[in-house]
């Protein structure tokens, strides 16, 4: 086989399928929005449990009457939801839009939690650091937590390679190391990068820079996914061509969620349902 022929056989947009790439991008966008919402919701819920009052916005939570330990609520909730989704994912059948959405959601929710652990010793004003400061923890424990978070984040990113490759429309797209690399680029890294910018409207206005500055870093973990793809040989792919329909339902849901985010959450909603109305 010549070099030219080998290059032509690599997965391209037309071969991978535009609907699959678009679905992956929209699913990642939804995952980013859900991860941030769960992070903020967890902080507010813990504040209410501790006897305070919490109000959730589209890009933050504000609470009064509770100690800084409430800032750990988002980390805990994201970790619980992410691990639950991680165990549920293998039980899902098929490789359609719903499974792709679940994959991106669990990846972003776990990223939201584990990233907070990673930056714990290096950012005194981060939410988890504020909560950690309420304890008389032994010296060096924060570094242990950060190391655990980094290892967990890396393991999640590496294991995601096989999950993404399983969405191949045909086995020929993942039959060689270079093909697996290119396919992972189209379905994982590029959607992660694009979705970081598509998700921006969900968090506007962000005058205090609570969310937007960190969005470009969302895709960093998927560099490890891309690096792991060539060596992932456990995915074979289907013999018959498998096509994914255009994700119109997912797009409609994202638009509804955007309207809810800007029309309802932007003005603030009390965490305590007794204060609604």
Distance between CA atoms of 13 and 15, rounded to whole angstroms? 6
Q: Is the pLDDT of residue 5 over 70?
A: no
- Percent of the chain residues past pLDDT 90, beyond the cut: 73
Give me the domain span that covers residue 238.
16-275
Mean pLDDT of all residues in the chain?
A: 90
User: Quick one: pLDDT at residue 250?
Assistant: 96
207 falls in which pLDDT band (50, 70, 90)? Answer: confident
Query: In this structure, is residue 11 part of a structural domain?
Result: no
**Cβ within 8 Å of residue 92, ≥6 positions away:** 98, 99, 102
User: Is residue 47 one of the residues assigned to a domain?
Assistant: yes
Structure tokens at 172: 């020929």
Place of tokens 């074979």: 236
Does a structural domain hold residue 191? yes
> CA–CA separation, 99 vs 31, rounded Å?
12
How many domains are there within the chain?
Answer: 1
Please report which confidence band the pLDDT of residue 12 belongs to, taking 50, 70 and 90 as the band edges. low
Q: What is the pTM of this model?
A: 0.92
User: Closest Cα partner for 101 from 27, 20, 32, 164?
Assistant: 27
Per-residue CA distances from 191 to 2, 186, 195 (Å)? 31, 7, 6
Residue 120 included in any domain: yes
Bridge partner list, 56: 61, 269
The 10s digit of each residue's pLDDT in 92-104 is 888 889 999 999 9
If you write DSSP's letter for every residue of 7-37 in order, what string do you get? HHTS--HHHH-HHHHHHHHHHHHHHHHHHHH
Residue 127 structure tokens: 């939410």
CA gap 225, 218 in Å, rounded: 13
What pLDDT was estimated at residue 1? 40
* Residue 274, pLDDT score: 78
HSE-CB for 87 with a 13 A CA cutoff = 5
- Compute the distance between CA of residue 234 and CA of residue 194 in angstroms, rounded to an integer: 28
Between CA 125 and CA 142 the distance in angstroms is 14
E strands of 12-159, at which residues?
53-56, 61-64
- Taking CA atoms, 66 is separated from 45, 48, 210, in Å, by 11, 8, 20
Q: Determine the average pLDDT of the residues in 158-164.
A: 95
In a domain, 22, yes or no: yes
Q: How far apart are the C-alpha atoms of 113 and 17, rounded to whole Å?
A: 32
Decide if 4 is inside a domain: no
Given this model, what pLDDT does residue 7 score?
Answer: 45
| pLDDT surpassing 90 at residue 147 | yes
3 within domain boundaries: no
Q: Which region, left, alpha or beta, applies to residue 206 given φ > 0 means left and ψ of -120 to 50 means alpha?
A: beta
């Amino acid at each position: 086989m010549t070099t030219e022929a080998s290059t032509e056989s690599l997965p391209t947009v037309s071969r991978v399928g535009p609907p699959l790439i678009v679905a992956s991008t929209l699913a990642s966008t939804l995952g980013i929005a859900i991860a941030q919402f769960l992070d903020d919701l967890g902080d507010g819920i813990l504040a209410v449990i501790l006897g305070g009052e919490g109000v959730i916005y589209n890009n933050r939570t504000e609470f009064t009457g509770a100690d800084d330990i409430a800032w750990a609520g988002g980390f805990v909730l994201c970790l619980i939801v992410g691990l639950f989704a991680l165990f549920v994912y293998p039980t899902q059948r098929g490789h359609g839009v719903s499974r792709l959405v679940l994959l991106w959601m669990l990846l972003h929710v776990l990223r939201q939690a584990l990233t907070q652990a990673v930056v714990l010793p290096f950012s005194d004003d981060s939410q988890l650091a504020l909560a950690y400061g309420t304890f008389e923890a032994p010296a060096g424990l924060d570094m242990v937590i950060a190391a655990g978070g980094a290892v967990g984040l890396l393991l999640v990113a590496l294991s995601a390679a096989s999950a993404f490759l399983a969405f191949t429309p045909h086995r020929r797209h993942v039959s060689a190391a270079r093909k697996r690399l290119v396919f992972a680029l189209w379905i994982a890294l590029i959607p992660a990068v694009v979705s970081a910018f598509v998700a921006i409207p969900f968090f506007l206005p962000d005058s205090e820079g609570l969310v937007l500055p960190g969005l470009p870093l969302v895709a960093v973990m998927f560099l490890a996914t891309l690096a792991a793809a060539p060596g992932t040989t456990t995915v074979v792919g289907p013999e018959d061509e498998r096509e994914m329909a255009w994700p119109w339902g997912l797009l409609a849901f994202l638009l509804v969620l955007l309207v809810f985010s800007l029309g309802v959450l932007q003005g603030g909603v009390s965490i305590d349902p007794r204060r609604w109305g």
